[in-house]
Structure 1
Amino acid sequence: MRSLATAPRLLATALAAVALLLLGAPSAAAHASLSGSDPEDGAVVPQAPAEVRLTFTEEVAVSAESVRVLDPDGNRADPGAAPGRVPGEGFTYAVPLLDGLGDGTYTVVWQVVSADSHPISGAFTFSIGAASERAAEVTVPEPGGGTVGLLYDTARYAAYTGFLLLLGGSVFVLACWPAAARVRVVQRLVVTGWSILTAATIALLWLRHPYTTGGGPADAASLSGLQAVLETKTGTALASRLILLAAAGLFIAVLFGTYARLNSAGTGAPGRGDEKGDATAARRRDLRFGLVAGGGILAIGIAATWSLSEHASTGPQRALAVPADLLHLLAVAVWLGGLATLLLLLRRTRPVPGEAVRRFSALAFGSVLVLAATGLYQSWRQVRSWEGLTGTEYGTLLLLKTGLVALLLAVAWLSRRWTARLADGSRPAQPDPDTEPADADPDGDADGDADAGGGGGAVAVTPERAAQLARQQAAVREARRRKVLAADPVRAGLRRSVRTEALIAVVVLAVTTVLTGTAPARTETAGPDGNPPSAAGPAGDSPAAGLSLSYWAYFDTGGPDGAGNARIELDSAAAGDNGLLVAFTDESGEPLRVAEVRAAFTLPAEEVGPLRHAAERSAEAGPETWTVEELVLPRPGEWELDLTIRTSEIDQVTVTLTFPLG
C-alpha cells in the first residue's frame, strides 16, 4: 500500500496536467464570428457610404471603441459613437461615417465581445473611388491571448475549483456527517474553497478589461476599464458573485461556529425526559434547516453567475439551457467537492463512520444521474451533428471529457463496492492511534531528551537536535498510521479508489475549463452563408411576387428538424386591413411541419401594440403554410413583427423583422 507521503507527489502530477492543458489551450476562441460586411472586404465603392455595417453570427456586445474606421492617413472617419444594431437585419451593427470623405482606402478595425463573454477582433479594408497607394497602419489587438489570457484562464479554473470545494464540503457536512463540522481539515477545505473563489472572482473582474481589449497586465489597474466592465453582462455577474460570497462567509461562520458547537454538545436522550437534550436537538434541527435553505439559495445564485453569462445564455432553447446548466454545475460541485472532502477525511487515521460514507455514495450516485442527463442535453445543444463532434476542436475536447468521465465513473463504481463493505457493520473496530499522545518520545527516554547528560537538570536542546527529534516523531506517527491502515484493508481500499477519483476529477475540471473557452461546434459548422438564427431579409423574387411585402427568415428552434426558412408575406404595404401568410420549408427546400405559430405586431414610434394573433394552418394556401386573417395595422410607420415558431413541446424560437407601412 502506498504511503500517505505520496499524496503531494500525486497532487503535483495532477497540477502539472492542469498546467499543460491551460498552457496548451488556445486563447479563448470566439463564439461569434464576422459573417459579412457592407462594404465588403476589398470592395471599391463609387462614393462614400453613409455607414459601415458588420454582420455577426451571434449577438455581440459593443461600445464606443468597438468599431473604428480609419482614412488612409490613419485619422478617424467615424464620429466615435457605439455601433447601433440595425432593426430587422439579424445581428447586424452599423457605425455612421463622417461627411465629405475623400477617395482612397479605408480600414475598419473591430473588436467586440460575444454574448457568452468571449472577445473577438479583426480588420478589413474598402476603397472609395479607387484604392490609394497607402492605407492606415493598424495593429489588431489579440483579445484573450498572451499573459493576460493565461492569467484569466487560470483564474477561471481557480474559480471553478473554489466553487467545488465550497459547495461540496458544505453539502457533505449537512447531508452526510454533521459531526464533520468540528473536524479541522473539513473546516480548512471549505474556507479554502471560499477564499479561492473570492480571490479568483476579484482577479477576473480586474483582468476582464485587458482580456477583452488585448491589453497587458498593467491595464488591469485601470479604474475606467473596471467601470466599463461593471456595465457589461459578465461584469454584473462577477460583481453579483462577490455579493453572494459575502453572504456565504456568514454561512460558513454559522456552519463551523454555532452548528459545530451544537453537534459537539451532549444531547442526552431526546424524548426521554431530558429537556435540555430535547431543546438542543430541536435547535440543531432548526439551524440545519436554515443552513440548508439559505445555503441552497446561495449555491444557486453563485452557480447562476456562470449560467447567465456563458454558454447556456446564448444559442437556442435558453429557457431550458440555463436551468440545465445550473443543475449541471450544482451536481458536479456536490459530487467532486464531496469527493475531495471524503478523501481528506480518509487520510486521517480516525475512522469516518460507515453511515457517512454510505450517505455520500448515494448522494454522489444521484449527482451522476443529474450530470448524465444535463451533460447529454448540453452536448447535443452545442454540437448538433456528427461533423461537429468529430471535426471541431469543441467536439474533440468533448470526447476527451466524456472518456475521462467514463473512467471516473468506473473508479466510482469500485468506490461504491468498498463503501458497501464498509457500511455492512461486520468489520471489527480498529485501533485509533490519534488518541495516543502526539509528542511521544521516539527515543524511548522517559524525559524526552537522550542528550540531557543525567543530573536531572533541564538541558537546552540545540536546533539540530530539535529537528532530528521532529523527524523521528513524524516517522513514528507515520509508522503508526501505516499499521492502522494495514489493519483495515477495506478503508485502505476505499481511500485508494477515492484518491484516484479525485485525481481524475482534477483533469476533468481542467478539460471543462478549456471547453468553456472554445467555440461551440454548432457555430463552427454553421452554413457558409453565415446567416445567423432569426436573421430576416427581403425575399427578392419570391413565389408570391404579387403580394405587397415579402421576406425570408432563417430560424432554428433547437429541436430535431427544427431549422429551416420561413417565407413571410403581408397582403398590403399600407396601413389598415392586412393579412399575414407564413410558409415553412426545411434547409433542403421541402415543407417543414411546425406545431404552432404566433405573431405580435408593434409600432414602437407611436407605442402601438403588441397586437397579438395566433396563426392557423391553411392547407389551401400551400403545404405547411400558416395564415392570420382579418389583421388590422392601424398606423403607418416602421412596424416590428415578432414571429414565434414552435416545433415541439419545448423547442421554439422568435424571429423578429421590421417592415414599413405607408
Structure 2
Amino acid sequence: MRRVVAAVALLLVLLVCSAPSAAAHAYVISQSPSSGAELATSPAAVVVRFSEPVTLASGTATSVLASSGERVDTGSPVLDGDRLTIPLQRGLPKGVYVANWSVISADSHPVGGSLQFGVGVLTVAVAEPAAPQPSSLLQLINGVLKGLVYLGLSVALGAAIAARLLHVSWPRLWLAAGFLAAAIGSLLQIPVQYLWGASASQATWDGLLQSFGSDYAVTIYLRVALLALAWAVRRWLPVFAVVALLVVVTVVRNGHGGAEGGWIFVSTLAHATAATAWVGGLVVLGWAMLTRRLSVPQLRRLPAWSRYAGGAVAVIALTGVAQAVVQVRYPAALVHTTYGWVLIAKVVLVAVAGLFAILGNRWVRAHSRLPDRPAPGETSRLRRFARREAAIGAAIVIVSGVLSSVDPAQATYAPTTTQTLTAGPYTVSLRIAPARRGPVGFRVTATGAADATPLAQQVQLTLDQPGGAIRALPVEFTARIPGSIRSGQPVPITFVSSVVVLPDIGDWRAQLTVVASPTEQYSLATDFTAY
C-alpha cells in the first residue's frame, strides 16, 4: 500500500509540474505580408507568428485563395512552434489574395485568422476577410459533454467521499454509473474536440485518427486509467482521495487552467475539486441519507456535513472570483462577450443554490442538538432543500463545462474605439477596430472647417507605447477615399490603413499628422487603450 501511495503522489507532482505555461488563448503577434499590403512582387509564402506554440486544426487548416476562388498555396504548411508558414505558388499574377488559417491554442480552443494582400494592386476594393470560425453547435456539444463528465466525476468521486463522511452506504450501482459516465464521456471528448477544431476548415478521416494520438487524448487515456485505479482502491479512503484528485488534475490540464499553468492551474484545480465534493455530497444527502426519517446518530453528523459543504462553497467562491478576474479582466467584457454572459448565468445559479444552502443550514442548526429524532415530516423538508440545491449544482456543473469551451472574455473582447479630434482647420475622426492586442486597422476621416479648406492629401500616423519598448511604430495608409460632394459643404476624406499588429495590451499614444500640402500640415496626439 505504501508503494501505491508513493506512486500516486509522484504522479500528482508530475502532472502538476508538467502543466504548460502559456497564454490562455493564442493570438497573432506578426504576419507577413501584412493584411491590406500592396506588394510589387509575388511573395514566396505567408508567414504568421503566434503568441504561443500552436497546432494545426486539421490537414486542411490553411489556404490561400485568389479572387477567382482558385487556391494558390502549394505543398503543406510548415508549423514550427509559434510560427506558421504557408508556401505559395511562384509568380502570382496581379490580383488580390486571401490567406486563411485555423490552429489550436494551448487551451484546446480553435483559433482562426485571415489576411488579404494585393500583388501589384490595392486591396481596398475587397472587404476585410472574416476569420474562419468553428461550429457553434459543436462548441456547445463539446461544452455540454464536459459538463456531463464533471457530473459523472461528482457521482463517482465526490459522492463516494461524502458517503464515508456521513457514514452512509452509497449504492454500488450509482457509483458504477458515475465511473462509466466519466470514462465514456471522457473518451467521447477526443473525437468531439477534433471535429470542433476542424470545423473551421475541413475535417478528414486522417485528422480524426491522428487526434487519438494527440497530447489532449493521452491526458484522457491517463484519466480513464486513473478512474480504473480509483475503482480498485475505493475501499481505502486516503488512497482513493489522492487518486480522485489526480483524475481532476487531468480534467484541469486539458482546459483553461492547464493552458495558463502556475497559480491559475492550482486555483482551477481547487475550484474543480471543491465543486466535485460539493455536488457529490448533495447527491448523497438528497438520495441516500434523507430518504427516510433521520436517526439521532445521523442527526449528529449533519453539522460536520455543513462545515464540509461550507468549506467547499467558500473555495468555489474565492477561486471563482480569482479566475473571473483573469479570464474577464475588463468589466465591460462581461456584457459584450459570450464568456461574460455564461459566467453571469453561472453566478446567478450559484446565488440560488446558496439560498437553498442557507435554508438547509438553518434546519441543521435548529435540529442537530435536539435530544430525539426530528419530528415526522421534518426530514422531508431538509431533503427538498438538498435535492433542489443538488439540481442547481448539477446545472452549475453543466454551465461550467460550457464555460470551459468558450473563449475567455479577455481573449475575445474587441471594442471599436472612435475619437473625434481637431487638427488645425480639420475635424478628425479616428476609428480603431478592434482596439485590442494583435492585428488592428485604423480609419481616419478628415473634414475641413469650410468648403474653402484644402482637402487632406494624406495622413501620417505613428504609435508609441508610453513606458514600453515600442516607439514610432508606423501605420501605412493604403487608400484615400473622398466623401460625397455637396455644394457649399466641405468634402470629408477617409484614409484606410493596412493592418498593423499591436504586440501588447495597455495604453498607447497615436501621433497623427494631416497633410494638406507640402507646406501645410497639422499634428495632434491622442491616447487609446488596447485590450
Q: TM-score range by the shorter chain?
A: 0.5 to 0.7
Q: Which of residues 210, 216, 240 in structure 2 aligns to 1:234?
A: 216
Q: How many residues align?
A: 406
Given the alignment, which residue of 311, 330, 334 partners 2:277?
A: 334
Match of 1:66 in 2: 61
1:371: which partner in 2? 316
Matched residue SS, 1:77: coil
Indicate how the Cα distance of structure 1 residues 139 and 366 shifts in structure 2: closer, same or farther if over 3 A, else same: closer
Deviations 1:336-387 (A, max 9, x none): 1110111002452263612333322111011112112211111111122322
Percent identity over the alignment is: 25
Cα 1:298–1:566 change in 2 (3 A) is: farther
CA distance in 2, matches of 1:127, 1:240: 49
1:399 maps to amino acid:
I
Secondary structure in 1 matching 2:386: helix
Alignment of 1:93-112 (within 5 A): 93-112=84-103
- Taking the TM superposition and a 5 Å limit, the aligned residue runs for 1:214-293 are 214=199, 222=205, 224-252=206-234, 255=235, 291-293=236-238
Amino acid at match of 2:153: F
Superposed, 1:213-612 pairs within 5 Å as 213-214=198-199, 222=205, 224-252=206-234, 255=235, 291-315=236-260, 318-349=261-292, 351=294, 353-428=298-373, 487-525=375-413, 528=434, 530-531=436-437, 565-566=468-469, 587-588=506-507
Contact 1:205/1:235 (8 A) holds in 2: yes
Alpha-carbon distance in 2 for matches of 1:145, 1:78? 30
Cα pair distance change 1:170/1:319, threshold 3 Å: same
Taking a change above 3 Å as real, the CA distance of residues 566 and 404 of structure 1, as seen in their structure-2 partners, is same
Deviations 1:115-169 (A, max 9, x none): 211113354433323489xx9xx998652434x4454333222111111111211
Q: Secondary structure of the residue that 2:468 maps to in structure 1?
A: strand
Counterpart of 2:159 in structure 1 is 169
Distance in 1 of aligned mates of 2:73 and 2:373: 84
Residues 28 and 51 of structure 2 are in contact (CA less than 8 Å); yes or no, is this contact kept in structure 1?
A: yes
Which residue matches 1:43?
37
Residue 113 of structure 1 is matched in structure 2 by: 104
> Contact 2:61/2:198 (CA < 8 Å) preserved in 1?
no
Q: Which residue of 1 aligns with 2:500?
A: none
2:146 maps to amino acid: R
**Take 1:586 and 1:501, find their aligned partners in 2: how far apart are those partners?**
41
**8 Å contact kept, 1:58–1:532:** no
Using a 3 Å threshold, how does the CA distance of structure 1 residues 530 and 314 change in structure 2: closer, same or farther? farther
Name the counterpart of 1:284: none
Structure 1 residues 565, 306: closer, same or farther in 2, change over 3 A?
farther
Q: Whole-Å Cα distance in 2 between the matches of residues 525 and 149 of structure 1?
A: 18
Contact 1:210-1:216 within 8 A present in 2 as well = no
The answer for the alignment partner of 1:188 in structure 2 is 173
The Cα RMSD (Å) is 3.7
| Aligned residue identity for 2:437 | N
TM-score, normalised relative to structure 1: 0.55
Asked if 2 retains the 8 angstrom alpha-carbon contact of 1:66 and 1:111, the reply is yes
- 1:376 to 1:191, Cα distance in 2 relative to 1, 3 A: same
CA distance in 2, matches of 1:411, 1:564: 50
CA distance in 2 between partners of 1:587 and 1:206 (Å): 38
Higher relative contact order (CA 8 A, sep 6+): 2
Contact 1:565 1:587 in 2 (8 A): no
2:140 matches 1:153: no
Q: Distance in 2 between matches of 1:418 and 1:116?
A: 43
Match of 1:81 in 2: 77
Secondary structure of 1:565's match? coil
Structure 1 residues 232, 521: closer, same or farther in 2, change over 3 A? same
Q: 1:443 maps to which residue?
A: none
Q: After TM superposition, give the deviation of residue 51 of structure 1 in Å.
A: 2.2
**What amino acid is aligned across from residue 165 of structure 1 in structure 2?**
V
C-alpha distance 428-65 of structure 1, shift in aligned 2 (>3 A): closer
Q: Which runs of 5+ in 1 are unaligned?
A: 1-29, 86-90, 256-290, 430-486, 534-551, 555-562, 569-584, 591-662
* Alpha-carbon displacement from aligned partner over 1:58-78 (angstroms, at most 9, x marks no partner): 653236543223455634523
1:640 aligned partner: none
Output the CA distance in 1 between the equivalents of 2:132 and 2:339. 24
User: How many angstroms does 1:79 deviate by?
Assistant: 2.2
Shift of 1:394: 2.3
**Structure 1 residues 368 and 62: alpha-carbon distance in aligned structure 2, compared to 1, 3 A threshold:** same
8 Å CA contact retained: 2:337, 2:409: yes
Whether the 8 Å CA contact 1:46–1:128 is kept in 2: the answer is yes
How much does 1:250 deviate?
1.6
Task: Kindly indicate whether the alpha-carbon contact (under 8 Å) linking 2:102 and 2:200 is maintained by their aligned counterparts in 1.
Answer: no
Q: What does residue 439 of structure 1 align with?
A: none
Paired letter, 1:565: G
Contact 1:564/1:586 (8 A) holds in 2:
no
Per-residue displacement from partner, 1:614-653 (whole Å, max 9, x unpaired)? xxxxxxxxxxxxxxxxxxxxxxxxxxxxxxxxxxxxxxxx
1:2-54 CA distance string (max 9 Å, x none): xxxxxxxxxxxxxxxxxxxxxxxxxxxx9545576422344331111132123
Deviation at 1:98, TM superposition (A): 4.1
Dislocated runs of 4+, deviation >6 Å: 138-141
User: What TM-score, normalized by structure 2, do the two folds share?
Assistant: 0.67
Q: Give the whole-Å Cα distance in 2 for the aligned partners of 1:404 and 1:377.
A: 18
Q: In structure 2, what is the Cα distance between the partners aligned to 1:374 and 1:204?
A: 25
Change in CA separation of 1:408 and 1:33 when aligned onto 2, cut-off 3 Å: same
Alignment CA distance shift 1:491-1:553 (3 Å): farther
Deviation at 1:56, TM superposition (A): 4.7
Report how far residue 242 of structure 1 moved.
1.8
**Whole-Å Cα distance in 2 between the matches of residues 297 and 342 of structure 1?**
23
Indicate the SS of the match to 1:83: strand
- Structure-2 separation of matches of 1:307 and 1:76: 41
Among candidates 47, 68, 76, match of residue 53 of structure 1? 47
User: Highest Rg: 1 or 2?
Assistant: 1
Give the letter aligned to residue 515 of structure 1: L
Task: Note closer, same or farther for the CA distance 1:176–1:565 as it changes in structure 2 (3 Å cut).
Answer: farther
Give the match's secondary structure for 1:94: strand
Unaligned runs of 5+ in 2: 1-23, 416-433, 440-462, 472-503, 510-531
**Given the superposition, is the C-alpha separation of residues 391 and 104 from structure 1 closer, same or farther in structure 2, using an over 3 Å criterion?**
closer
8 Å CA contact retained: 1:31, 1:518: no
Q: Deviation per CA, 1:383-407, whole angstroms, max 9, x where unpaired?
A: 2232233443322332332232122
Q: After superposition, what is the alpha-carbon deviation per residue over 1:571-601, rounded to whole angstroms, capped at 9, x for unaligned?
A: xxxxxxxxxxxxxx994479xxxxxxxxxxx
Q: CA deviation at 1:92?
A: 5.3
CA displacement 1:517-575 (0-9 Å, x = unmatched): 22222223468464369xxxxxxxxxxxxxxxxxx998xxxxxxxx973479xxxxxxx
Given the superposition, is the C-alpha separation of residues 112 and 216 from structure 1 closer, same or farther in structure 2, using an over 3 Å criterion? closer
Query: In the aligned structure 1, how far is the partner of 2:194 from the partner of 2:76?
Result: 19
Q: Which moved more, 1:298-307 or 1:347-356?
A: 347-356
Which has the larger strand fraction? 2
State the secondary structure of the residue aligned to 2:178. Answer: helix
